Structures are given as structure tokens and as C-alpha cells.
Amino acid sequence: MRALACAAAVVCAIAPLRAAAHEILHQVQRGRALAVRAFFQDGQALADQQAEVYSPADPKIPYWRGRTDRNGWLAFVPDVPGKWRVRVVDATGHGLDTQVDVEPAIGGPDSGAPSGAGPLGLALRPVVGAAVIAAIFGGLYLWRRRRSA
């Protein structure tokens, strides 16, 4: 681990250090969520009712569970295209049980890193690469040493 410590020390010496740990980060994406509204024939919303959403990938366990808002809306962010089942259950036993089609464009798998990093990710490229190499050598070293021990 001396090498990793050494590499870390070198890079940290080059760049001014600012501590930032245990942050809760967030990400805003527009046009990615799907909203469904449930209402009675007379227009009255099914407000504040229990609701469940099932992914086409797993029809048994709910993908999302919660309550509709004051206007009868619920929203979720699909991760696969296909037919999503939406259930809203009224306290009186009335309810909505319907299927919503999700197009591949919306429900495409949000794979890998959030790619909104753009030029920021590019600027960090040398650091990421260096960390990868350090980890490769560290992994090889530890694995070899423990095997021989």
C-alpha cells in the first residue's frame, strides 16, 4: 500500500485539498419521469391514495410504492421500456389498474455514470486514469502477496 499512499501523497501535493465527504448529491433530469393521474368520472381526483407501479421486468414486486398527491398524480422514473402496470387503490375499494406503455427513448437504461459530467469528466480524466492504474497495481500486489502468504 506504500505505493498507493505515495501516489496519493504526490497527487495531493500537486492539487490544493478541500475536504468534501459524505455529501448527498443530486441530479435533475427533465422529461425522464412518467406521470399518471387517477380521477373519478366526475373529475374528482383520487387524491392521497395508495399507489403501486410494477416494472415489466418484475411483475411481482412493486418498482415504486407511495401515495398520489393532492391532485391525484403519481410519477415514477422508468428504467426499461415496455408495459408498466400502475395501480391506485381507493379506501372504498375503487381503484385504477392500468398499463402504461414506455417508449425505449424514455425508458432506456440509464447505464454507467451520469453522463451529464461532460467537460468536467474530461478534466478529471487524468486523475481517474491514475487512480485506475494505482488500483490495478494495488489489486495485483495484494492478491499476489496474500496468495504467497
Partner 1 sequence: MHVPDGFLSPQISVPAWGAAAPLWVWAVRRTFGASATESLPALGALTALAFVVQSIMIPVPGGTSAHLTGVAVLALCHGPLAAFACESLVLLLQAVFFGAGGFTVLGVNALALGLLGPGAAWLVHRALRRLSERAAAFSGAWAGLQVSSLAVSLVLGLQHHLSSQYMPVPFPVVAAAMMVPSLTVVGVVEGLYTLFAMSLLRRARLLAAP
Partner 2 sequence: MPLPEPRRSQVLLAGWIALTFALSAVTNPRALAIAGAAALVAFRRGAAGALRRVALTVLPFAAGLPLASWLLAWLVAGSPPFPGPYLALAARAVLIAFVTFSLLARVRLLPALWPVPMLGRLAVLALGQIHALRLLAAESAFGLRSRLPRKPGTLDVIRNAGAVTAALFTLSTRNAREVADAMRSRGFR
Per CB under 8 A, residues contacting partner 2 are 1, 4-5, 7-8, 11-12, 15-21, 23, 25-27, 112-124, 127-128, 131-132, 134-136, 138-143, 146-147
Question: Measured from the CB of residue 30, what is the shortest distance to partner 2 in angstroms?
Answer: 15
Q: Which is nearer to partner 2, 59 or 121 (by Cβ)?
A: 121
Q: Which is nearer to partner 1, 10 or 33 (by Cβ)?
A: 10
The reply to whether 111 sits near partner 1 by the rule CB under 8 A is no
Q: How many CA atoms lie within 13 A of 129 on its CB side?
A: 6
Residue 93: Cβ-neighbour burial (10 angstroms; 0-12, 13-18, 19+): exposed
- Please state, in angstroms and rounded to a whole number, the distance separating the CA atoms of residues 6 and 21: 21
Ramachandran area for residue 31 (φ above 0: left; ψ -120 to 50: alpha; else beta): left
* CB distance 100 to 36 below 8 Å: yes
The reply to whether 91 sits near partner 1 by the rule CB under 8 A is no
- Please state, in angstroms and rounded to a whole number, the distance separating the CA atoms of residues 136 and 106: 36
Q: Binding segment for partner 1 among 59-67, 75-83, 99-107, 135-143 (CB under 8 A)?
A: 135-143
For partner 1, the binding residues (CB under 8 A) are: 1-4, 6-7, 10-11, 125-127, 129-134, 136-138, 140-141, 144-145, 148
